[in-house]
Structure formats: C-alpha cells, structure tokens
Structure 1
Amino acid sequence: MSEKAEIEDTYAEAFKGIYCRVIVTAAYKETVKKTAEDATATPATVIGRTEAGIEKWLEKEETPDGRPGAILQFWGGIQKELRGAIEKFEKELSYRIRQDILVKPFTSVFDAHPAPKGSLDMMKGVGHCGDGYEWVEERFGRKMIVVPLMVPNFQIERRLGYATGVMGGNFWYLCKTKKAVMKAGKKALKAIEKVEGAVNTFDICSAGSKPDTNFPEIGPTTNHPYCPSLKKQLGSKSKVPAGVKYIPEIVLNAISVDAMKNAMKAGIQSARSVEGVVKISAGNYGGNLGKYKIHLNELF
C-alpha cells in the first residue's frame, strides 16, 4: 500500500455564484443518464454562460413522479450586481433545459432547491416552446407547465428556486504517472458523489487556469508555471516539483461552505492514497478571485 501524499499548506480560492437545484426524471434510466450527462457536459461559467453537475442519481421511489431520476445543479457567475446576474442566469438556464432536457423523450423537471431565496418563472424561457399551446396544471402536488411535443409531452415545474452558493472550490493532485491521474481522479469523483449539496463540474480537469492572461478576449488561460511541459523553458519560474509529470484539477461547486469542505475532504482523502500521487495542492490567486479561502490542512 502506498503512503498518503503530502498535503501542501495552502488554500483553494472560491467565489459566490447563483444556482438552481432540480430533479430530472424520465421513463427509462438510460434516458435519465444521457439527459443528465448532456445537460452538465459543458462548464462555461468562465466564458459568461453556465455550468452544471450531477449531484445524485435517484431511484423511482425518490422522485415526485415515481420514475428514475437525477439531482442536477445549474450554476451562473456573479460579475457585478445580483439582479443582472440572475437575469442572465435565467436565460442561460433556459438554453440548457431546452436543448439538453426537453428534447429527450418523456422527461420532466422538478424544483429541488433546499432553501431558495427567490424563484424563476419557466414559462417565458421554456414553456413557450409549446408555441402558445402549452398549459399549466396541478400534477404531483406541483404547478407544472406541460409543453406539447411530437413525442408527448415535456413537463417542468412552473417556478424553479434559486439562491447563492460557493463556486470554484478545487484541489490539485500532483502525479508521476498517467495511471495515477485517472485512478485517483475516478476515486475522488466517486467520493464526491456521496456528498450532499456538492457537484463536480469538470470531471478530471487537465486545464487548470489563471485569471490573468495575455489574451483577455478568450477568458482564463493556462496556468503556465504549473505546466510540466514548460518546466525546462521556464526554468526557475516553473513551480512544477521534481518528478511530477501531471497536475490534474478537481473543481467543485456547492450549496454552502460546509458542503464544499465536505466534498473537498472526501475527494482529497480518496486521491491522496493512490500510488503515483505525490502531493495535494490547490489553485489560489492571492485572494483576488473570490471571498472564500478553504485551507486544505484545516479540512482534516
């Protein structure tokens, strides 16, 4: 059994975001899986859009309509004032629902927010896909919009709750081998799945970034001091430790600081015992990116 990797005395820097938490159901488990994976596939908050993650898979006994399902979280960033951010998030959320969920056979969307601060009316952005033939009725003890489709029918709860939570929590696991990258990453993600209120948004991320860039028009760019392939070129400016060939990142969003800490702890514990993982670290930017500082050593 390999020794546990060292945890660097550093912190992950996280920031505030807006989120909705929903239950997606379908007639068949394979449809739920495809729908959930498609709806959460593109982490795009860094380019001003949305990102999402799968929090939990649900059995039919756990859903409002008695069908297989999943809990998904959808997230948007807050650049300046909250009202403008909410309006943008509502629009971007409607794109995700329309293009990734509504188009799948026999799907439904229900609100699953534990403590909403407000709600978004889904009629304008999603319901009107029915071209005026949509209707609202009481189903499963909720007000549902029913959208008539050629494969009848899509339904979504009229109002989805939203609140602010914590985005961008992360940890790096520095590896000597490709095998360690994949094995430790999969173990970490499996552990995070068991934490209520937290989601992973990038899977195993190979492209840790930094906010300062030479090309602001494309958003965050590669965190070059930590790129192993640039170690020789950068010389003393490289921050890649000797023997490290890969620095993957796990990125997390969570409904609270406590949920974030629990998820980070679970992921780190699982990753650090894998052979070939030599160190655990995290991305931070001197406090310039977000208000939350989650110190790794304080998690244990």
Structure 2
Amino acid sequence: MSAISRNGVTIDDTFAEAFGMSALGLIITADSAKWANICATVMTGFGTSVIGAGAECGIDRQLSPDETPDGRPGVRVLMFGFSPDALKPQLLNRVGQCVLTSPGSACFNGLDSPTTMPLAAGPRFFGDGWQTAKKLGKQRFWRVPVMDGEFIIEDKCGVTTEAVGGGNLLVLGRDRAGLLEVTEAAVAAIAKVDDVITPFPGGIVRSGSKVGSKYKGAIASTNDAFCPTLKGAVTSELDADTIAVLEIVIDGVTSASVADAMRAGLKTIIETGAAKGVTRVSAGNYGGNLGQHHYHLKDLLP
C-alpha cells in the first residue's frame, strides 16, 4: 500500500468506509450549564454502537442562552440509528428516563427537517391527564407537571435519513501514553466541528472490529490485522514498532460534516503526532463493498 509522509507521520493511501444512517437532534436546557450537561451526558450514555447499544449518541455542542428556545443554557445532542423506526424506542426511553427525570430540564427539537417524528408522545403521558399543550407559531409544546415545577417538551422533532455513520481514523503508535494524548487532541479538534459526534468513550475506541466471526451469531469481532499481540499469528497491517492502535469513529448529520471532522482530526494528528510516538494514520474499510460513503485520507490532508 502506498503512503504519504507528513511531518514525520505516515498517512496510508486508503479510505474510511461509512454507512448511510438516520439522525435526529435534541436541544436540552436546564437552569444551569452544569445541569444541562449532566442531563445530556446521562441521556447519551451507552450510545456507542448500533451493533449493541441500539443507537449511537453524543453531545454535539454547548449552547448559550441566546441559542436555545427558552433562553437558558443548553446542549445539543445527536442520535444516530439505521432508520427512523429504529430511533423511536431509543428516543422514548432516553428522553423519558433521562431528560424528564433531570432537575429543571426541558427538551426541544434540535434538527430542522421537513420529516418529523414524535418527541413528546411518551413523556407527556407522565402528566396523568394534568399535562397541557400550547402552540406557538407552528410548534406545539407540552407542559407536564413534575415536583420541581413543569417539564417542557416539544411535540415533534426533526429526523433525517441523509446522515452518515462510521467515518473513522486509525491512529498507530510506538508509545501508548503519547498515542492516547494525540488521539485525545484529535477528538477535541473534531468536537469543534458542528453536526458530528464521536460516540465511543471519550471519543476513542480500542476495540476496532471486522465484519463476522468464527462464532455463530456474532456479527462482529476483533480487527485482528490491527492487533499488536497477533502480529505473528495473522496477516498483520502493523509495522514492527507499532505497539498500540486507537480508533476515532465519527457520525455526522451530513456527509460533508463527517469529511470536515476527519480533516480536523487528521490535521491535529499530523501536527502533534510524531513528537508523541504516533507513526501512522490509517482507516477502516471493508473493501468498499458495504458502505456507501468513502473518505480517502489523501483527499483530507491539510
């Protein structure tokens, strides 16, 4: 495989293969930024991979009071799934269990789209008949009585089927601590790009996977070609000095947002990586046969 060297880091001439997904956005507000973030963090928890978590979820960005519907501090969260129908139970459970229950919270649509899905269809019934509806312009909101006052929730939220899941960067290195530090910095750079999330813990996944398994019923298994301890047992993709690989997985509301995020992460890795023991950047794909979206690393170089 040919490669390009930038600032002491080798960039493989390969591509990340990503998939079409559905996505929705929510704006969560509270009396303080602290509580908006607590609510959003809990609501997006266990939102790493649709393989086992049901939805891929994360915080997109912080919102100032002048950016939210009720003039309070807020957070925009994104949820990704294979289809709008797959997102419905995730939305119901996460909003009902994590947003309705959080002190001072309110929940609003966070994605402009001509296609909508119910947002308040479950939580409003918690009002046990005491809930009331109010229409402001074209939007309907529900007021649900709770013990600290009222829970305000918008009736519907926008959903898109043009989202992309699975953009990725594989970061290889010869020093574990330095590799993690650089990958963290890349995630921080990606966080500045709107309309994307990195759904794994801290934005980083060490358990990159391949399709299929030797075990019946398992749909994914460890990416053995990138496992340092298996260099002598499998056809390895790793250099002799590579001792660890970390992956950043990126989901975006649009294909362009995923490309922008990968570009930002790659730029940070190139600028800071060599001094911290990062040697290469690669990407995960399935030969181009599964995902509709291909992001070639050479096209994303700064």
**Fold equivalence (TM over 0.5):** yes
Which residue of structure 2 lines up, in the alignment, with residue 81 of structure 1? none
> CA–CA distance in 1 between the matches of 2:289 and 2:40?
33
Partner Cα distance (2:169, 2:148) in 1? 43
Match for residue 222 of structure 1?
222
CA–CA distance in structure 2, aligned partners of residues 76 and 130 of structure 1: 29
Distance in structure 2 (CA, Å) of the matches to 1:60 and 1:141:
22
- CA distance in 2 between partners of 1:148 and 1:88 (Å): 29
The match for 2:143 is 146
Q: Percent identity?
A: 30
SS in 1 for 2:233: helix
- Segments of 5+ residues of structure 2 without an aligned counterpart are 1-5
Distance 1:157 1:191 in 2: 32
Q: What is the aligned counterpart of 1:52 among 57, 60, 71?
A: 57
SS in 2 for 1:147: strand
Q: 1:271 to 1:100 in 2, by over 3 A?
A: farther
Give unmatched runs, 5+ long, in structure 1.
78-84
1:171 and 1:249 in contact (8 A); partners too:
yes
The equivalent of 1:82 in structure 2 is: none
Which residue in 1 is equivalent to 2:80? 75
Distance 1:120 1:141, change over 3 A: closer
Cα offset, 1:210, TM superposition:
1.1
Moved over 6 A (4+): none
How many Å separate the matches in 1 of 2:187 and 2:289? 27
| Displacement after TM superposition at 1:297 (Å) | 0.4
Cα shift at 1:142: 3.9
- Counterpart of 1:255 in structure 2 is 253
Name the TM-score, length of structure 1 as normaliser: 0.90
Equivalent residue for 2:30?
A: 26
More helix as a share of residues:
1
1:45 counterpart SS class: coil
| Cα separation, 1, equivalents of 2:121 and 2:66 | 31
Contact 1:134 1:147 in 2 (8 A): yes
Q: Which residue of 2 aligns with 1:80?
A: none
Report how far residue 233 of structure 1 moved.
Answer: 3.3
Q: How many residues align?
A: 289
Asked if the contact 1:47/1:218 (under 8 Å) is kept, the reply is no
Aligned to 1:120: 117
Report the alpha carbon displacement of residue 140 of structure 1 after superposing the two structures with TM.
9.4
- Following the alignment from structure 1 to structure 2, what is the Cα–Cα distance between the partners of residues 182 and 141? 47
Which residue does 2:107 correspond to in 1?
A: 109
CA deviations on 1:133-166 (whole Å, 9 max, x unpaired) are 3221146984212222223222211010001211
1:217 partner SS: coil
Matched-pair contact (CA < 8 Å) for 2:120–2:154: no
Q: Structure 1's 154 and 298: CA in aligned 2 closer, same or farther, altered over 3 A? A: same
The answer to which of 41-50 and 157-166 deviates more is: 41-50
Which residue among 158, 169, 172 is the counterpart of 1:161?
158
Residue 199 in structure 1 maps to residue 203 in structure 2: no
Give the equivalent residue in structure 1 for 2:21: 17
With structure 2 as the length reference, what TM-score do the two structures score? 0.90
Cα RMSD, aligned residues only? 1.9
Q: 1:4 Cα shift? A: 4.0
Superposed displacement of residue 100, structure 1: 2.1
Cα distance in 2 for residues equivalent to 1:259 and 1:184: 22
Distance 1:127 1:286 in 2: 46
Instruction: Name the amino acid aligned to 2:247.
Output: E
Hey, what does 2:277 align to over in structure 1?
A: 276
Q: Deviations over 1:269-298 (max 9, x none)?
A: 112322211001010011233111111101
Per the alignment, in what secondary structure is the counterpart of residue 290 of structure 2?
Answer: coil
